[in-house]
Amino acid sequence: EADIYQTPRYLVIGTGKKITLECSQTMGHDKMYWYQQDPGMELHLIHYSYGVNSTEKGDLSSESTVSRIRTEHFPLTLESARPSHTSQYLCASSEYNQNQPQHFGDGTRLSIL
């Protein structure tokens, strides 16, 4: 039922490679987010966007970058992957109203060898 899609679902790749995690939503939401989640731990916000050409860093320091050229698309890029980047990355979107829920994708599980 989710209208927010993340690809790939799983990625195993070597150190030093450039990686782009894709996230697309079809709900026309202005707000989009990237979270990092490790097993048994809370979600940590790494990037967010209020709309096209708007991007901000979140609470957790991350070496990744994001872009928001189109409303529906919010890709995350790692220029040079390291083992410390191994984690689950979740993308979410929401309406501008604070009392509306976030809709999450099913995540990308990233493993850097």
Partner 1 sequence: KNQVEQSPQSLIILEGKNCTLQCNYTVSPFSNLRWYKQDTGRGPVSLTIMTFSENTKSNGRYTATLDADTKQSSLHITASQLSDSASYICVVSDRGSTLGRLYFGRGTQLTVWP
Residue 111 in contact with partner 1, rule: CB under 8 A? no
Mode of pairing for the β-strands spanning 19-25 and 4-7: antiparallel
Phi/psi of residue 57, each to 5°? -80, 145
Q: How far is the CB of 79 from partner 1 (least distance, A)?
A: 25
Dihedral (Cα; 29, 96, 33, 46), 10-degree rounding: 160
Nearer to partner 1, 14 or 97 (CB): 97
Binding partner 1 (rule: CB under 8 A), the pick from 40, 53, 61, 70 is 40
Residue 2 in contact with partner 1, rule: CB under 8 A? yes
Q: Which parts of 68-107 interact with partner 1 (CB under 8 A)?
A: 90, 92, 98-107
Residue 55 in contact with partner 1, rule: CB under 8 A? no
C-alpha–C-alpha distance, residues 34 and 29, integer Å: 14
Nearer to partner 1, 14 or 98 (CB): 98
Q: Which helix (H) or strand (E) holds 5?
A: strand 4-7
Cβ 74 vs Cβ 23: under 8 Å: yes
Binding site for partner 1 (CB under 8 A): 2, 4, 31, 40-45, 48, 50, 90, 92, 98-107, 109
